[in-house]
Amino acid sequence: MWMDAQHNKAPMKSLFVLASAFTLLFAQTDPAQPVLASRTARILRIDGILFKDLNKNGQLDPYEDWRLPAQTRAQDLVSRMTLEEKAGLMVGPSLNPGPGGAVSDQPTYGTNPFNPGPPQLVSPATEHALHQLHLAQFIIRANLPPRQMATWLNAVQEVAERTRLGIPPLFVTNPRNHLGAGANFGIMEAASAFSQWPGTLGLAATRDAKLVEEFASIAAREYLSVGLRGAYHPTADVATEPRWNRFSETLGEDANLTAELIGALIRGFQGPALGPSSVAVVTKHFPGAGPAGSGFDAHFPHGKNQVYPGNNLDYHLLPWKAAIAAGTAMIMPYYAVPNGIAKEATGMSYNQEIVTGLLRGKLGFQGVVNSDTGISTGMPWGVESLTVKDRYRKAIEAGVDRIGGDATPELIVQLVKEQKLTEARIDESARRILRIHFALGLFENPYVNPDEAARTVRNKEFERKAGLAQRKSIVLLKNRDAILPLKPGVKMYIQGLDPTEAARHGYVSTASPEKAEVCIARAAAPSGGFMAGRSTRPIDLTLPAEQLAPLRSLAQKCPLVTVLYLERPRVIPELAQDSAALLATFGVSDEALFDVLTGKFAPSGKLPFEMPSSMDAVRAQLEDMPHDSKNPLFPIGFGLSYPTPAR
């Protein structure tokens, strides 16, 4: 059923257009009329223009009028909401699908994997979440095929449309587009369904802001197609401590490069301003989590301290200034306690000096402050002695608008009724939050086309662009005697690569390194996984003997080309010495790698961090200072190339 909306200036008259059980799209001839989609809400026709009657009262209310500014609509909607409905906006748990991607009618409970305690509600039942808890933002961690993801999220939006005010929820996600990134709760979602780009360190290695912005634009189109309208990224942390366990999520240790690329990422995801084709980003983790004491991460009790021995906070703020200038919709403070930059020893989300004083006051941020997941029960650093309810109070007083990961808005209601928080303060956060929903056009059309999702996600053109980024991200660190590019027809022994890819490029692989003219070994520096951060010993950046010894042995049998995947800087002087050629990668396919090895694509990547020469040099570094290790093996920005041969 399609209808035309014509704009005229006749006296306003309204007419109900009943929606069927299926999504109805309402087309338009007036360019100002947005496309509306409804499954249960009636459509009002007023002066030939169409609006959704979200609160079912048969008249056009200001918050339903798409012609008004987002701020005006948010102000009106907040004035119509109960305290309980407003409180529901201020928490944002995960939401899980039911079997087969259906709407789930069962809650999910679990313990915090980083700091175990009593089981907590992880994902509420959908009807309960929307109709009783009044929630309006959910973290989507499920890895479903695109068509199934779109169908599920559409069904959740239909449940929301039936609520008293018809507020559409915002679905946010951790990154999904990085090759080789497995699902890691709270950090990364699996990338297999979406276009496969190098990790963020690889994006930084390209030094190509235009390509990085294009990556974000493509990722946004994939997110949009399945109904994901928010991103729990990008990461603006400047990784000045090489032992930090979240180094791989960053753009490296240079604040100026990070600032340039953060701006590109935000523009790619959001566009010049939030609108119906935007994905709203949550830039994290303010004020920059890179200066982690001894590299320990703040997910764990022994890593709760963020330190500034070099008094270098301003350097870490450069990407945040760029993010705010680019219009980031939301910002996420970190768990850590700011040592030396704030008077109060409480985690960032509880610290009024950090959130209100620095972020809102000094830097002028006016958007939503969304806390990291689990601050109230899992990582309540500096407020461990407070009850969960009083932790809510302290975070909201500090300037936080939403408690990430939680599903207990009743605590906010209790705080207001006990006069520990004012309803005016709740209204302030509610307006900020709803402004984003209105700007994104969710109130007009929160639905997506599952068939279009299947056609969009990881299509050939997106994969082609991702492949280009993979090739541009590869960094050539050593090339003794110009062993690369590989000469045509050279006999090779390969380890950790697909032999069919070698054959496709015209090379014969042998079963024995002794019979080869060149050995190519693809290896990954072990990270131990994110949970390795539980250890109270600082991470050792050297390669373990069980990995290093076989590579050095292989180098004795034939000239060795080492391809090393890096999720952080590593101490590899022996491997660099023994290798005839050494390449650093950050998530590349065998096809992309062979294109560089054979000279079909000349290496152009540059290190986004320095490679230290020893662990003594690492330990002597200051956590908040960039590239300050003594006599680095490879300096930041290093990268060789070679001409592509005529073929």
Catalytic-labelled residue, pool 53, 237, 297, 372: 372
Distance CA 597, CA 593 (A): 6
- Which is it for strands 120-123 and 108-110: parallel, antiparallel or unpaired? antiparallel
Q: Where are the beta strands (DSSP E) in 370-441?
A: 403-404
Q: Which residues contact 605 (CB under 8 A, 6 or more apart)?
A: 202, 205, 206, 207, 472, 473, 474, 475, 476, 584, 639
Residue 550 CB: number of other CB atoms within 10 A? 13
Distance CA 508, CA 490 (A): 7
Q: Which amino acid is at 149?
A: M
Q: Return the SS3 of 91.
A: strand
Q: Which residues contact 384 (CB under 8 A, 6 or more apart)?
A: none
Judge residue 12's burial from the number of C-beta atoms within 10 Å of its C-beta, 0-12 exposed, 13-18 middle, 19 or more buried: exposed
Closest CA to 101 of 126, 78, 120: 126
The partner residues of 290 in beta bridges, in order of sequence, read none
Distance CA 546, CA 534 (A): 22
Element (H, E) at 364: none
Element (H, E) at 406: none
**526 close to 248: Cβ distance less than 8 angstroms:** no
Q: Which residues contact 478 (CB under 8 A, 6 or more apart)?
A: 576, 579, 580, 581, 582, 640
Distance CA 27, CA 38 (A): 12
The partner residues of 282 in beta bridges, in order of sequence, read 330
30 is catalytic: no
In order, the DSSP letters of 157-186 are: HHHHHTSSS-PPPEEEE----BTT---BTT
In order, the DSSP letters of 308-340 are: -TT--HHHHHHHHHHHHHHT-SEEEE-SSEETT
Element (H, E) at 438: helix 423-439
- Residues forming the active site: 372
